[in-house]
Amino acid sequence: MACTRYLTQIQEMVDGTLGAIRRAELEMHLDQCEDCHALLDDLRRIHDAAGSLDDLQPPDRVWLQIAGRLRQDGRLAETAASSAPRRSHLALLALAAALVLAVGASLMLLWPRGETPRAPAEAGAGAPNSGNPAAVNSVEDVENELRQAEQHYESAITRLQQIANSSQSSMDPQVAATLQRNAQVIDQAIAESRAALRSEPTSAPARGALFEALRQKVTMLQDTIALMNEMRKGNSAGAAQVLNKS
Amino acid sequence: MATSKMTMHPSVPGPAEGARAAELALVERCRRGELGAFEELYRAHAGRLFSLACRMLGNPADAEDLLQDIFLAAHRKLDSFRGEAALGTWLYRLATNQILDHVRSRAARAGQITDGLEDATVLADAGEHRLGDRAIARIDLERALAQLPEGCRAAFVLHDVEGLEHREVADVLGIAEGTSKSQVHKARLRLRALLARKW
Amino acid sequence: MIQRRFAVLAAVLVAIAAPCLANAQVYPERLTAKMKHVVAAYQRRDRDEREEQTERTTKTLRLGSNGELSLGNIAGDITVTRGGGNDATVEIVKVAKARSADEARELLTLVTVDVSERNGRAEVKTRYPSGDENRRNNRRNFNVTITFNVTAPSGTRLNVNSVSGNIKVSDIKGEISVGTASGNVSVTSAGAIAEAKSVSGNVEIVNAQGDDSLEASSVSGDVTMQRVSVRRIQAGSVSGNVKLEEVQCDRAEAHSTSGNITFTGPLARRGRYELKSFSGEVHLAIAGGSGFEVDATTFSGDVRSDLPITMRGNTDPNDRRRRRSLSGTYGDGSAILELSTFSGSIVIAKK
Ligand SMILES: [Zn+2]
């Protein structure tokens, strides 16, 4: 039978809120008391098991009922299937997102760290093929994969850059200058990590740095475009206001 | 009992970089009445919200009904989604508030909010039910969860399953922080006893 | 995270722009041209325009104890502090500069502040005349800045944005979103902070306790947090440093391309901390809390740990050579640390 006076401390230990002094006191007791030790272990296991419970899937009928209700309530467009023309800024944003998603997807194959829940065993990533042992067997394969992923990024960057350049005029010059300077900082990082990768083709840190820098570049370009698009959207909103008032 | 609303967001995974624009585009399609778009949204989030509802209510049938209400409410309120929070977070908040409303009204109907019974028994039993080497199977844990009394189940689900801190649990449930602690602690002891039992 | 970096800021620009547009049929180029003038004038503080006129007004807004206040400015500083009672007061200080006093006085009348208020929600927006009006009046620059000094009830939700100017918020416990394109952002003694952003200024958050996640970023400035306790922190800069000091969170993601990253604070059980820089240092000082599992890698720098870390794999723990990577466990191993820098070094220290 666990000792009543240590119950709260044991629970707080599981909560992760036990202060250092009381923790030390408890630890001393745990060394001597098998019951309390067992209690702590069990409660911890319960806590951890609860924290790692998987999602439960609702039965299909729930969705069917939801869809039915939406239809009944007239909340669905009749021509839902035909794609309505989108406003251009949305299309642009969607394009940007799609580009990055495509890039991201291809990276997932090669570079599972960071994006996916980590499996400690492969987190070291020292071995070049730790990410995808089934598909990647040799150094050449890795390099091919790398090149492909990089090309995705490159083309995403080129396309984003074109969009950004063509709309450059809508941005405050000082802000534009800051963005440009910082784009150069990122370019420098890309160039350095690429050089590093040439000298040590299997280096995980070099590879990680290259992708991180490419990713940063993409996000910065996206942000730039989003900023400009938002301003345009402001204009159309303004125009709509004018129309409504007249 | 204070009826504070959910304001925090527990460990809902944020959208991957670049996914936010896609999320906004999806919401926009939902607003235009595209069923396919809303189904996509449903598929992406239903599991998580259903799990929360199931565990908080301790009853899959109620959770199914509630899930339906949650997504119908989400569809009505999509206009107010402006992308400040991730879509998952926004839905999570909405769902939590609905679930809590449900729990509260059910508790009010049943004339009980938290369980006052058998504190002493639970505590006295604390040492009697060792899990030993027995692994905790998910199904057993889910089943045991459903058998917890309402009050301590909600606190336990929010704290140990969803990963909220006690002060957050207290805030969500409108109880004192100390109450959250004692409810969660009690739930763990009960679960231990339930899990140690032979099924 | 960065995807959304400009969204708020952009939303403000839009919010500011929209009412101007309502006045006349304006096209994008004109709108942006006007904003450029306004901002440029503010930044230049025109030398020819020596005559200065000031106008002060104060408005009282009935926000209630947890109302919402949105404030959008184009050029000028914004300060928000806690006031007593249930009302917010907004002191608006307009300063116009021109070649003559008359001209400056006229400018004062052209730049206005819209205040709208309904059911505990108030919106305050600076409005500059439209491009057409400017042409009619034969004006190119508007050297008018507007400073806002606001006191608001502690529970107010705040949304403050500016194109050019500093933003300071203190002692407000409602949810805060702040952004400026050029200027510093400082938030002290706050509750929930949704986001704090600048493009070219520093972002500083001191003493904040919230339940949600906090996103702070700058492109070229430093991002600093001190004594911040939230669920999740996302902090980033391209060329500035990211300093997280005495922070407590379950999840932290900090990155910089050329700046350093510093983290001090306790680790949460099952917490996750990702700190990444390209050419800067990554420095972590752990103040108690949970043990951790760490993966630290660098290409050309080195990794050092003052804490006794049990190495994963067959590395000899007594190996004192310079190392470029380190993977292992400290204490109960329940938090996860991912640290990387390409050419800087990584230091794990005890606090
Ligand atoms: Zn004992």
- The beta-carbon neighbor of B131 closest among A15, A42, A219 is A42
Query: How far is the C-alpha of C314 from the C-alpha of C307, rounded, in Å?
Result: 19
The DSSP secondary structure of C221-247, one letter per residue, reads S-EEEEEEE-SEEEEEESSS-EEEES-
C154 reaches A (C-beta below 8 A): no
For chain B, where do the domains classified as CATH 1.10.10.10 start and end?
120-196
Which of A46, A54, A101 is opposite residue B192, by nearest beta carbon?
A46
B17-110 CATH, one of 2.60.40.1730, 1.10.490.10, 1.10.1740.10, 1.10.150.120: 1.10.1740.10
For the record, the structure tokens of B141 come out as 């844990």
Chain A CB contacts of B50 below 8 Å: 55-58, 62
Q: What share of chain A is helix, strand, coil (3-state, %, to 5)?
A: 75, 0, 25
Write down the pLDDT at residue C351: 78
The one-letter code for the residue type at C194 is A
What pLDDT does C149 receive? Answer: 96
Which helix (H) or strand (E) covers residue C212, if one does? none
Distance CA A68, CA A62 (A): 10
Q: Taking CB atoms and an 8 Å limit, are B7 and C3 in contact across chains?
A: no
Q: What is the pLDDT of residue A120?
A: 32
In angstroms, the CA C64 to CA C301 distance is: 55
Q: How far apart are the first and last CA of chain B?
A: 37
Q: Which chains touch B (3 or more CB pairs under 8 A)?
A: A, C
Measured distance CA(B99)–CA(B162) in Å, rounded? 14
Q: Do the Cβ atoms of B19 and A101 come within 8 Å?
A: yes
In one letter, which amino acid is C126? T
Nearest CA among C268, C186, A100 for reference residue B23: A100
CA distance C122 to C99: 36
List residues of B whose CB lies inside 8 A of any C CB: 7-11, 14-15, 17-21, 83-85, 163, 167-168, 171
**pLDDT tens digits along C174-195:** 999 998 878 899 999 998 898 8
DSSP 8-class letter at C323: B
> Could you say which of C3, C8, C231 has the minimum Cβ distance to residue B8?
C231
Give kind and range of the element (H or E) at residue A72: helix A60-72
Bridge-partner residues for C187, per DSSP? C169, C205
What was the pLDDT predicted at C316? 52
User: Tell me, what's the pLDDT at A119?
Assistant: 32
CA distance linking residue C170 with residue A230, whole number of Å: 29
Strand partners, C73: C162
> How far out from the chain centre does Cα B155 lie?
9
A169, A173, A182 ranked by CB distance to C220: nearest: A182
Distance CA A170, CA C119 (A): 36
> What span, in angstroms and rounded, lies between the C-alpha atoms of C197 and C180?
6
Minimum CA–CA partner of B15 in chain C: C1
Give the residue extent of every domain in chain C: 2-48, 50-165
Per-residue confidence (pLDDT) for residue A228, from 0 to 100: 56
Shortest alpha-carbon distance between residue C3 and chain B (Å) = 6
Measured between beta carbons, the chain A residues lying within 8 angstroms of B126 are 1-2, 4, 7, 39
Instruction: Give the 3-state DSSP-derived string for A118-139, with helices as H, strands as E and coil as C.
Output: CCHHHCCCCCCCCCCCCCCCCH
To the nearest whole Å, the CA of B63 is away from the closest chain A CA by 9
User: Do C13 and A179 lie within an 8 Å CB cutoff?
Assistant: no
Chain C residue numbers with beta carbons less than 8 Å from the beta carbon of A175 are 181-182, 199-200
How many Cβ contacts (< 8 angstroms) between chains A and C?
A: 185
Alpha-carbon dihedral sign for residues A66, A71, A77, A83: positive
Q: Please judge whether A181 and C220 are an interchain contact, meaning their C-beta atoms are less than 8 angstroms apart.
A: yes
d(CA A102, CA B10): 29
Give A129's contacts (C-beta < 8 A, 6+ positions apart). A136, A137, A138, A141, A142
Q: Which amino acid belongs to residue C197?
A: K
**Res C340: pLDDT:** 93
Q: Are strands C261-267 and C282-289 parallel, antiparallel or unpaired?
A: parallel
Asked if the Cβ–Cβ distance from C231 to B84 is below 8 Å, we say no
pLDDT mean values, one per 10 residues, chain C (351 residues)? 37 33 29 47 53 92 92 90 92 90 88 89 83 56 86 94 90 91 91 87 93 87 95 92 95 93 92 92 89 90 89 56 79 90 91 78
pLDDT in the model for residue B22: 86
CA of A233 to the centre of ligand 1 (A): 66
- Could you give the CA distance from residue C227 to residue C245 in angstroms, rounded to a whole number? 6
Which residues does residue C93 pair with via DSSP β-bridges, in sequence order? C56, C147
Neighbouring-strand partners of residue C55 = C94
Sign (positive or negative) of CA dihedral A25, A30, A36, A42: positive
Q: Are strands C193-198 and C176-182 parallel, antiparallel or unpaired?
A: parallel
Mean pLDDT, chain B, as a whole number? 81
B17–C1 C-beta distance less than 8 A: yes
**Subunit contact A235:C17, Cβ cutoff 8 A:** yes
Cβ atoms of A90 and B28 closer than 8 Å: yes
The alpha-helical segments, DSSP class H, found in B32-175 are 35-57, 60-77, 87-110, 119-125, 138-146, 150-156, 166-173
* pTM, 2 dp: 0.54
Q: In what helix (H) or strand (E) does residue C114 lie, and over which residues does it extend?
A: strand C112-118
- Phi first, then psi: what are they for B164, rounded to 5°? -75, 160
C151 phi and psi angles, rounded to 5 deg:
-115, 140
Task: Tokens 């819209």: give the residue.
Answer: C114
User: What confidence score (pLDDT) does residue A156 get?
Assistant: 67
The ranges of chain A with pLDDT < 50 are 79-139, 168-170, 230-246
Q: Are C76 and C91 in contact (CB under 8 A)?
A: no
Distance between CA B155 and CA C57 in Å, rounded?
50
pLDDT tens for each residue of C18-67: 333 222 222 233 334 444 554 554 444 445 567 889 999 999 999 998 89
When the candidates are 3.30.43.10, 1.10.10.10, 3.40.50.300, 3.40.50.970, the CATH number that belongs to B120-196 is 1.10.10.10
- CATH 1.10.1740.10 maps onto chain B at 17-110
pLDDT at residue A106, as a whole number: 35
Q: What one-letter code names the amino acid at B162? A: E
- Residues of chain C with C-beta less than 8 angstroms from the C-beta of B180: none
- Quick one: which of C74, C111, C115 has its CA closest to C95? C111
B160: which chain A residues are within 8 Å (Cβ-Cβ)?
46-47, 50-51
Could you give the C-alpha distances from B49 to B6, B54, B67, C131, in angstroms and in order? 14, 8, 7, 50
Please tell me the distance from the alpha carbon of residue C235 to that of residue C196, in angstroms, as a whole number: 10
What is the three-state SS of A205-234? HHHHHHHHHHHHHHHHHHHHHHHHHHHHHH
- Among C213, C270, C334, pick the best mutation site for testing chain B contact (most B Cβ within 10 A): C213
Q: How many other CB atoms are found less than 10 A from the CB of residue B121? A: 10
From the candidates C3, C175, C215, which should be mutated to test the interface with B, based on the most B CB atoms within 10 A?
C3
Give the gap in angstroms from C-alpha B79 to the nearest C-alpha of chain A.
13
Q: Which residues pair with C232 in a beta bridge?
A: C213, C251
